[in-house]
């Protein structure tokens, strides 16, 4: 069968299938004919037959209603009022895109076409994901190893189902658990780059997660590290990621996608977003009607590109079954400005499912291809697993990673409102494959199967670098009425694929084997008040195997400037897998006028009309040259680390001529830390003080200052360098930081995802805040003065938990701030809660103490107890709720009780008490001291004697008692009082004081006293004797009398 017959049969089939689409709208749909051109074909079909809503991919709406998206010239509140007056309900509006989403009765579709300033009306539809190691096939190894680019300092936003940032390939940058370098982008306040368009919430209200699995796989392809092995690393493994849920749970409507793109643009600077990757597409394509780039989401991608975000989007997997036809590109893959990506295998042959162009309005798509078949990447929820998926979804993040590497090589290739150098470079450097498959049937490239070919990193990154690898040399001063030569040069790199010229050619201008030139242009401009230049030299500097043609346009004057333009056209063949550098240069002489003046010299560099870095010189005509040197530097003698230290350099011009401008570079141990351009004229024999600042680093350092770029050039450059030594002392911060937990409250009942919030402060600096759930390890919180930390309590059992926070200022940790919360997730077993008590809080070594867990609770039953005594010993898990124990060493011990319930769940944090254990003291006997009576004192037997133990004591502080004994009378007194009174009998007494303490230890002291009879006793005796004497005397007298009578 001839090709002509095949095309005729295909055309007949196409007409039969899609002939209903060409019926006149006013006859079939009732939509006003004057507005029909503003209405999407899909909406026309559904309005005609609402039963086709599901078939045509519309987002669900209430019975009899339809979700619509309208674009207007300039969105105003009056547009919302118009819709509401028709009974519609506005669900979202996007001022950035001049678009509004709403739900309305399907019968009101004709009326809504009269919305003021309407530019497009479409039905709201659902979008879905567009479903070893592939990165080597596009040249990553050379870029990583030879160029040293791995995506550092770039950020890719993944608009998909979300990203599992707990996966080993996506959790951090260096795959070392002890360092803190998260893969997820963090703003200046420590907030994570994550947003859910369906809930319209960002972190911390929405925790980073993947609502499906697709987004994690795509993120791993773009920027995954591949874990510690790196086996399945992504294209830009050191790039950071922002996760955006556009397809919550696997699908999203147009409002979700618009919110996703709008949030990404709004937060571009906050998270330094460079690239946006969308591996998604809309429903079945109606060729020529629904993929013209008119949809709201397609237009939103155009806005994103104009905002400076490289935007890559999948072309779709629509080249299968009845959808296998040209123009099967889905939207938003039909975006005018986004980079649309198709899928190839590792051999760069198109995967059969990859949709084809052109768009409905005739534009060539895709733009480029990338590997998309059987791609291994991170598997969501697995921790460290990888899985193989296929689709243009997998091809798209490859290109996102390529773009990140290009931007790392040269950030200036980012798109603008009028340029997109990333897209142009990809088109110019890709592998332009001319397909042989019958499905395409095309002989030229670019074409609607492969676009401009499969991306090639070596060519793409090299060309990005070429646009900043430029140079301009020459003296900054020209003596009056003399000439100086200036040379402008750049690097141009050619690979085996860079052979199609500007923008990679057009669909009809390249056949395999032909070679279209790349144009390198160098344009110099300066004031036409100076003499017209007339001496030039062009050198193509072509590399091996490269052909070059050079030419120069005639010098002309424009807007008061001379325009000097040199062109170089490069062709030639380069062997597979290699690249060749050429070094085109343009030399030109500038003649100074007969008067002294300084003017700017500006040189522009471009490759295929892509402008590279611009070089600017100030040149001056002169009679005499300046001679600058640094006379002195003034800096503080006492410097502490981390201080911002101001210092002053005194610049002196000792030459005969003036310096019109100059630059000072400041170095610390040879490393540049500040550069200042001084544009104040410095005349001969004048001085100028230049002030700079340095953040001091501990240790001894050599600081140096260099004078460069003097205009006109310095007469003697040998004295342009000044060095001095400084010593920086360590700063010792004695004041610890503070930290507080503000949410949740103490004893609050929580469930599901718990966001712990708090504040922290320090007198100098906050390094970080850490949070943990006892007894787990510390984890970094996000934020500083205001911080957040999330905990998915549904992964834990119900029960009581302790949350702790601490902050660190680089020197000291704060005190730990703790709260207790109660987790109550429905259907979960509650962890038991331990409660510990003891009969004593202070004991002596060897003294028994009883610990009890009887107060522990559970929603069912506590069955086991474990006591940890804090001295290196603990019990086994036992059923007995109490234990008797004694400590063998003195000290302070934290005794902890953990408990287990009848389902085997254990308490999350044990209850504890502190026990003070002391050495049992050695009891010293008390000291007995008799203060009174004194030894040798004499008393009468009727006299109260004062007994005082004043001076007695006990060194242990025990209470003491006093017992007084007499050798004649026995125990006299027993008292706790230090003094007492007693009467003793007549005689000589040995008095003993015994002092006893509470431990029955005692000591004694004895004295001797005498007790005599009282005076009254003596008077009574004399009377008796007198009586007896009287009787004796009487008897004697009587006797004598009787004797006398006898004789």
pLDDT along the chain (1047 residues), means of 10: 42 38 42 92 92 90 94 95 95 94 95 95 85 68 91 97 96 87 92 95 92 95 93 95 94 93 97 96 74 92 97 88 70 95 88 88 93 92 92 94 97 95 96 70 79 94 97 95 96 92 76 79 97 96 94 96 97 89 97 92 97 95 95 91 92 96 96 95 95 94 96 94 94 91 95 93 91 92 92 87 94 94 87 93 94 92 96 95 96 95 88 93 90 93 93 90 94 93 93 92 93 70 48 51 48
Looking at residue 17, what is its pLDDT? 36
Q: Does domain 129-458 have CATH number 3.40.50.200?
A: yes
Cα–Cα distance for residue pair 147/140, rounded to 1 Å: 10
Q: Which residues contact 731 (CB under 8 A, 6 or more apart)?
A: 640, 641, 642, 643, 698, 764
Q: Which residues contact 214 (CB under 8 A, 6 or more apart)?
A: 129, 131, 160, 161, 247, 250, 279, 389, 393
User: DSSP labels for 504-573?
Assistant: G--TTS--TT--BPEEEEEEEEEETTSPPP--EEEE----TTEEEEEEEPPPEEETTEEEEEEEEEEEE-
The highest-level CATH class for domain 3-124 is alpha beta
User: DSSP labels for 862-904?
Assistant: EEEEEEE-SSS-BPPSBS-SEEEE--SS-EEEEEEEEEEETTS
Cα–Cα distance for residue pair 99/302, rounded to 1 Å: 14
Q: How many degrees, rounded to 5, is the angle at CA 510 between CA 508 and CA 511?
A: 110
Asked whether the beta carbons of 469 and 491 are under 8 A apart, the reply is yes
Note the maximum CA span of the chain: 211
Instruction: Assign 860 to helix, strand or coil.
Output: coil
Cα–Cα distance for residue pair 674/695, rounded to 1 Å: 11
Looking at residue 1016, what is its pLDDT? 67
**How far is CA 833 from each of CA 333, 681, 870, 1007, rounded to the nearest angstrom?**
56, 78, 20, 68
Cα–Cα distance for residue pair 657/655, rounded to 1 Å: 6
- SS3 string of 225-252? CCCCCCCCCCCCCCCEEEEEECCHHHCE
Residue 945 has a CB neighbour count (10 Å cut-off) of 21
Looking at residue 512, what is its pLDDT? 56
Instruction: Assign 665 to helix, strand or coil.
Output: strand
Pick from 280, 286, 223: nearest CA to 256: 280
Domain 938-1013: give its CATH code. 2.60.40.10
Cα–Cα distance for residue pair 41/145, rounded to 1 Å: 50
The highest-level CATH class for domain 628-728 is mainly beta
Structure tokens at 432: 């332009």
What is the length of the chain?
A: 1047
The dihedral through the CA atoms of 684, 689, 693, 694 has a sign that is positive
Element (H, E) at 914: strand 911-918
The dihedral through the CA atoms of 299, 304, 310, 313 has a sign that is negative
Residue 657 has a CB neighbour count (10 Å cut-off) of 19
Cα–Cα distance for residue pair 256/200, rounded to 1 Å: 9
Q: Which residues contact 722 (CB under 8 A, 6 or more apart)?
A: 629, 630, 633, 649, 704, 705, 706
Looking at residue 511, what is its pLDDT? 58
Asked whether the beta carbons of 906 and 938 are under 8 A apart, the reply is no
Cα–Cα distance for residue pair 78/320, rounded to 1 Å: 44
Domain boundaries along the sequence of the chain: 3-124, 129-458, 467-622, 628-728, 738-823, 837-918, 938-1013
Q: Which fold has domain 837-918?
A: Immunoglobulin-like (2.60.40)
Looking at residue 510, what is its pLDDT? 58
Mind telling me the catalytic residues?
160, 214, 393
Q: For the CA atoms of 441, 443, 444, 449, what is the dihedral angle to 10 degrees?
A: 30
Pick from 569, 444, 448: nearest CA to 510: 444
Q: Which residues contact 718 (CB under 8 A, 6 or more apart)?
A: none
Structure tokens at 140: 């990553």
Q: Which fold has domain 738-823?
A: Immunoglobulin-like (2.60.40)
Asked whether the beta carbons of 490 and 471 are under 8 A apart, the reply is yes
Q: What are phi and psi of 917, to 5 degrees?
A: -110, 125
Partner residues linked to 682 by β-bridges: 659
Cα–Cα distance for residue pair 494/517, rounded to 1 Å: 11
Domain 467-622: give its CATH code. 2.60.40
Q: For the CA atoms of 332, 334, 337, 339, what is the dihedral angle to 10 degrees?
A: 80
Structure tokens at 297: 């989401």
Asked whether the beta carbons of 131 and 391 are under 8 A apart, the reply is yes
Structure tokens at 1033: 């005397």
> Where do we find the tokens 């290009």?
406
Same fold, 3-124 and 738-823: no
Peptide bond into 154 cis (omega under 30): no
Structure tokens at 794: 């549904």
Cα–Cα distance for residue pair 378/384, rounded to 1 Å: 7
Residue 419 has a CB neighbour count (10 Å cut-off) of 16
Asked whether the beta carbons of 645 and 558 are under 8 A apart, the reply is no
> b/e for 441-453, b at 16 or more Cβ within 10 A?
ebeebbbbbbbbb
Structure tokens at 689: 């003080």
Cα–Cα distance for residue pair 524/220, rounded to 1 Å: 45
Which DSSP state fits 816?
P
Pick from 86, 81, 75, 76: nearest CA to 113: 86
Asked whether the beta carbons of 164 and 170 are under 8 A apart, the reply is yes
């Amino acid at each position: 069968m001839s090709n002509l017959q095949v095309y005729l049969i295909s055309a007949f089939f196409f007409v039969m299938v899609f002939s209903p689409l060409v019926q006149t709208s006013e006859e079939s749909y009732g939509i006003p004919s004057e507005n029909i051109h503003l209405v999407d074909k899909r909406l026309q079909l559904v309005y005609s037959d609402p039963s086709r809503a599901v078939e045509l991919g519309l987002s669900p709406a209430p019975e009899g209603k339809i979700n619509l998206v309208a674009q207007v010239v300039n969105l105003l509140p009056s547009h919302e009022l118009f819709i509401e007056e028709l009974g519609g309900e506005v669900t979202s509006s996007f001022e950035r895109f001049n678009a509004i989403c709403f739900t309305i009765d399907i019968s009101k579709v004709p009326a809504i076409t009269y919305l003021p300033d309407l530019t497009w009306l479409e039905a709201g539809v659902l979008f879905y994901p567009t479903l070893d190691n592939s990165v080597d096939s596009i040249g990553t190894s050379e870029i990583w190893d030879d160029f040293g680019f791995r995506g550092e300092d770039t950020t890719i936003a993944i608009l998909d189902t979300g990203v599992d940032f707990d996966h080993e390939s996506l959790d951090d940058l260096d795959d070392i658990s002890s360092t803190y370098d998260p893969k997820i982008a963090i703003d200046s306040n420590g907030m994570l780059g994550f947003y859910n368009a369906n809930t319209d919430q960002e972190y911390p209200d929405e925790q980073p997660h993947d609502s499906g699995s697709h987004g994690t796989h795509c993120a791993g392809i773009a920027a995954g590290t591949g874990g510690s092995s790196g086996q399945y690393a992504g294209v830009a493994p050191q790039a950071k990621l922002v996760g955006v849920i556009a397809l919550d749970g696997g699908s999203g409507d147009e409002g979700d996608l618009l919110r996703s793109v709008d949030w990404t643009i709004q937060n571009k600077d906050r998270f330094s977003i460079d690239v946006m990757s969308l591996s998604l597409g809309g429903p079945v394509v109606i060729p020529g009607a629904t993929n013209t780039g008119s949809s709201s989401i397609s237009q939103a991608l155009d806005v994103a590109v104009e905002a400076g975000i490289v935007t890559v989007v999948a072309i779709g997997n629509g080249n299968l079954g009845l959808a296998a036809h040209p123009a099967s590109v889905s939207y938003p893959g039909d975006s005018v400005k986004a980079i649309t990506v198709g899928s190839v295998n590792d051999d760069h042959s198109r995967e059969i499912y990859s949709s084809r162009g052109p768009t409905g309005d005739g534009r060539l798509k895709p733009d480029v291809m990338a590997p998309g078949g059987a791609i291994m990447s991170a598997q969501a929820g697995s921790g460290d697993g990888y899985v193989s998926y296929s689709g243009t979804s997998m091809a798209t993040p490859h290109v996102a990673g390529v773009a990140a590497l290009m931007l790392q090589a040269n950030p200036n290739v980012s798109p603008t409102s009028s340029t997109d150098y990333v897209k142009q470079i990809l088109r110019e450097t890709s592998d332009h494959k001319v397909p042989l498959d019958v499905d395409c049937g095309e002989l030229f490239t670019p074409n609607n199967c492969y676009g401009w070919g499969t991306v090639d990193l070596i060519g793409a990154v090299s060309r990005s670098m070429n646009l900043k690898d430029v140079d301009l040399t020459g003296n900054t001063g020209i003596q009056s009425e003399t000439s100086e030569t200036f040379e402008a040069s750049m690097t141009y790199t050619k690979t085996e694929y860079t052979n199609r010229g500007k923008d990679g050619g057009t669909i009809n201008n390249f056949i395999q084997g032909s070679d279209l030139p790349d144009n390198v242009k160098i344009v110099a401009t300066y004031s036409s008040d100076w003499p017209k230049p007339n001496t030039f030299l062009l050198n193509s500097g072509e590399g091996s195997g490269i052909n070059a043609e050079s030419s120069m346009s005639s010098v002309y004057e424009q807007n008061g400037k001379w325009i000097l333009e040199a062109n170089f056209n490069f062709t030639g063949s380069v062997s597979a897998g290699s690249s060749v550098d050429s070094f085109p240069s343009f030399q030109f002489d500038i003649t100074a006028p007969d008067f002294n003046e300084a003017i700017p010299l500006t040189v522009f560099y471009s490759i295929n009309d892509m402008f590279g870095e611009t070089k600017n010189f100030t040149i001056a005509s002169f009679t005499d040259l300046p001679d600058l040197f640094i006379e002195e530097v003034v800096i503080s003698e006492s410097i502490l680390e981390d201080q911002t230290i101001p210092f002053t350099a005194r610049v002196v011009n000792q030459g005969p001529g003036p310096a019109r401008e100059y630059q000072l570079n400041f170095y610390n141990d040879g490393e540049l830390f500040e550069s200042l351009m001084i544009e104040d004229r410095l005349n001969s024999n004048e001085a100028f003080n230049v002030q700079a600042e340095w953040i001091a680093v501990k240790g001894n350092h050599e600081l140096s200052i260099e004078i460069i770029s003097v205009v006109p050039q310095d007469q003697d450059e040998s004295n342009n360098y000044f060095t001095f030594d400084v010593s920086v002392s360590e700063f010792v911060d004695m004041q610890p930081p503070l930290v507080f937990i503000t949410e949740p409250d103490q004893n609050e009942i929580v469930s599901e995802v718990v966001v712990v919030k708090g504040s922290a402060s320090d007198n100098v600096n906050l390094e970080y805040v850490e949070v943990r759930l006892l007894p787990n390890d510390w984890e970094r919180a996000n934020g500083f003065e205001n911080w957040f930390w999330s905990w998915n309590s549904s992964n834990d059992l119900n029960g009581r938990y302790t949350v702790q926070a601490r902050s660190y200022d680089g020197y000291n940790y704060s005190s730990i701030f703790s709260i207790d919360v109660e987790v109550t997730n429905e259907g979960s077993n509650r962890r038991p809660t331990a409660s510990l008590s003891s009969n004593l809080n202070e004991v002596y070594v060897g003294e028994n103490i009883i610990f009890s867990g009887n107060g522990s609770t559970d929603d069912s039953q506590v069955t086991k107890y474990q006591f940890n005594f804090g001295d290196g010993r603990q019990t086994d898990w036992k059923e007995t709720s109490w234990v008797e124990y004694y400590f063998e060493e003195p000290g302070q011990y934290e005794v902890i009780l953990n408990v287990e319930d009848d389902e085997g769940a254990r308490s999350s944090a044990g209850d504890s008490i502190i026990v003070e254990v002391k050495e049992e003291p050695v009891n010293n006997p008390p000291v007995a001291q008799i203060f009174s009576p004194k030894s040798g004192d004499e008393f009468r037997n009727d006299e109260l004697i004062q007994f005082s133990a004043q001076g007695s004591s006990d060194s242990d502080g025990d209470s003491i008692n006093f017992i007084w004994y007499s050798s004649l009378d026995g125990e006299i007194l027993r008292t706790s009082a230090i003094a007492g009174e007693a009467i003793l009998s007549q005689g000589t007494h040995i008095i003993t004081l015994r002092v006893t303490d509470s431990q029955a230890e005692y000591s004694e002291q004895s004295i001797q006293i005498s007790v005599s009879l009282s005076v009254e006793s003596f008077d009574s005796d004399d009377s008796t004797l007198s009586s007896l004497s009287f009787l004796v005397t009487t008897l004697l007298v009587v006797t004598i009398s009787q004797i006398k009578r006898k004789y």
